[in-house]
Amino acid sequence: MNFWTDTTSTVIAGILLIAVPIAFNAAFAALAAKFDYPNILRKPTAEVLAKFSAGGSALVLLWWGFAMTAALLTPLAILVSASLQGAAPAILFAAGAVGVVASVVQFLGLIRWPFLVPYLARESAKSDTTPASREAIDIVFQSFNRYLGVAVGEHLGFLFTGTWTALVGVAILQSSNVNGWVGVAGIIIGIALALCSLEFVGHFETKGWRPAAVATPFVYIVWSLWLVGTGVALLL
């Protein structure tokens, strides 16, 4: 007997749409309280790594959990596409594919923290670490921060997450089981999130684009609320 039905997909998608943003924001809030994230990233490398070491294994596990919330976007994106009845198959396929890419790039941006950063922190904390080694640690940390953090996790993460959100919004407008206003909101929020991905692009690379820096936290909060609202709409 096949227990996997369209109703099952819809229920699981609805639950994930509610649970994932709650888990993401809870982990983010915990990192802000325990590690002063993301403000800590503006500090010198030695200070960041010292604070990271002080956090112990609990902080490492917290970062691992935060990365896992990004990984959960993969099944969420697939199940949402499977749950929107009546939408064009091409739109649903594109949304699912882009959602998986968004999940992967966000995961890759975050996973450095529970695996690479602990090693750099241990090396930095050694009493016999030479000035040349500390300089190398600084270069490695800042390079990975800019490549995996800014370029992959933030730029590509915001771009693909925003694109996925807008595509889901279009699919919702075509679907028969979610109110159209949820789709309109998704399109607007998705475009805003994609624009936030331009914060460090082009001549903004050195100091960033101020409007995007200011808007991003608020857009992510609204995006999280939209996910929850979409989940509730699917369950109802």
Q: What is the DSSP letter of 153?
A: I
Q: Are 16 and 231 in contact (CB under 8 A)?
A: yes
- Mean pLDDT by runs of 10 across the 236 residues of the chain is 64 96 97 94 95 96 97 97 94 98 97 97 94 96 95 96 98 93 97 94 82 92 97 93
Q: What are phi and psi of 82, to 5 degrees?
A: -75, -10
What pLDDT is attached to residue 205?
Answer: 79
Report how many helices (DSSP H) and strands (DSSP E) the chain contains, helices first.
Answer: 9, 0
Is the pTM higher than 0.95? The answer reads no
Among 222, 227, 67, 90, residue whose Cα is nearest residue 157: 67
What pLDDT is attached to residue 171?
Answer: 97
What pLDDT is attached to residue 5?
Answer: 52
For residue 163, what are the contacts with CB-CB under 8 A and spacing of at least 6? 98, 102, 190, 194
For residue 38, whether the previous peptide bond is cis, meaning omega lies within 30 degrees of 0, is: yes
